[in-house]
Chain A
Amino acid sequence: AQKITQTQPGMFVQEKEAVTLDCTYDTSDQSYGLFWYKQPSSGEMIFLIYQGSYDEQNATEGRYSLNFQKARKSANLVISASQLGDSAMYFCAMREGRNYQLIWGAGTKLIIKP
């Protein structure tokens, strides 16, 4: 079974609009962390935002926020006021318990239209 599912292979969004990228996860651990990374064509993984399973409030980092719905096991990334520079691949990842590895989704390719 997939541990991280990103159902949107690609998305086109108009500049300045908000965009939501979907991520659902599957784990039996009570303690886990969820991450979103951005990967431009250069290849580097750029950290965007983190949500811990025990965090009561949704994480926010500038224009990025994470819509964390624990009961539904979803951790959607919301980008407000999208910019042309936001065009990239976006990956959701999870770290479970005391496991050291990050488990990744297949990614969503986001293209911002001017």
Chain B
Amino acid sequence: NAGVTQTPKFRVLKTGQSMTLLCAQDMNHEYMYWYRQDPGMGLRLIHYSVGEGTTAKGEVPDGYNVSRLKKQNFLLGLESAAPSQTSVYFCASSYPGSPYGYTFGSGTRLTVV
């Protein structure tokens, strides 16, 4: 099915470990975003990209890095995981000026112990 695919769906990390979350979309969307969702705080923007090869910081970028080497992929990296990064991570994509909003992936539940 067309849409946004996130891998993995679940992951447990030890403090200090690193990992990469992968987001892939097949809708030819220009814009891609990484959000984290925590109880009572809604979704907060970590990083975003407005095109291949470009990235920018969002509201809560510390401790994360991103890359968009291909238009369809947006990678989120944690270099040294901390318990404060325990969260559900969502990737989303959109098209400039689209009235159809974001298309979200189904999320990655990350626990850092």
* A and B are partners in one complex rather than unrelated chains: no
Chain B residues within 8 Å of A, Cβ to Cβ: none
